[in-house]
Amino acid sequence: MNDNSMFDQNIILEDDYVALSPMEQRHVDALHEAGKYSEIWRWTTSQYCYTHDSTSAWVSECIEKRMNKSQYPFVIYDKVSKAIVGSSSYLNISAKHKVIEIGYTFLTPSAQKSFVNRRCKFLLLSYAFDVLNVNRVAFQTSEKNTCSRKAILGLGAVFEGINRHCRVLENGDLRSSAVYSVISDEWDDVKQNLKSKLTRPTLGKDDVYHNQNVLKAH
């Protein structure tokens, strides 16, 4: 990761069950369908995909940020349900310091507590460390979002602390963010641990994918 050339690439990350592809304007309808549930946006600064108009504006903003080389937004495609079920992004990217953050993740309710989140995060982490050769991947979520915090810890990330009153929510409340990271020295162990969880043979109701607490939007 010596420059920002990643923004010029059509990055597609996929396995047998999920695929992440660059967000485009044509995804507005599908993202609104996935994000039209108010509970998704409880801890966010805006209900990005709650209405069709807000979804269109948000997608345009995300695409502009990619053009400005400040964020790389993906849509999440569930190969099992054959539908776009959410979004996630690379952001706070520094080629100089080789650090990156994974965030702005949301999943439609039907995809929460499923295999989708952990597989997406594994793909994003793998690309960051194995292709971009970053030194650090960060995650942030609301201090009060216990499901998201458990999910991030479940990835193998280390809790670093609380960034206090760093954001203002749409209702005017102040949000403090819990900060986590995985660093390059830890990646081999984190990767093997995650990989072992992804190779379970079934996806039945008692499987780990259906019992995990997955990330909501953050």
Question: What single-letter amino acid sits at 132?
Answer: L
User: Would you say domain 5-200 falls under CATH 3.30.1600.10?
Assistant: no
Lookup result for tokens 């102040």: 174
DSSP string, 90-155: EEEEETTTTEEEEEEEEE-GGGTTSSHHHHHHHHHHHIIIIIS--SEEEEEEETT-HHHHHHHHHH
3-state secondary structure of 182: strand
Q: Rounded to whole angstroms, how far apart are CA atoms 214 and 150?
A: 8
Residue of 94, 100, 3, 23 lying closest to 65 (CA atoms) = 23
3-state secondary structure of 36: coil
Residue of 4, 36, 43 lying closest to 140 (CA atoms) = 43
pLDDT of 70: 93
pTM, to two decimals: 0.88
Q: Rounded to whole angstroms, how far apart are CA atoms 94 and 11?
A: 18
Q: Rounded to whole angstroms, how far apart are CA atoms 198 and 195?
A: 5
Per-residue pLDDT of the chain (218 residues; tens, 9 = 90+): 667 788 889 999 999 999 999 999 999 999 999 999 988 888 888 888 989 999 999 999 999 999 999 999 999 999 999 999 999 999 999 999 999 999 999 999 988 878 899 999 999 999 999 999 999 999 999 999 999 999 999 999 999 999 999 999 888 899 999 999 999 999 999 999 999 888 443 444 434 333 333 333 44
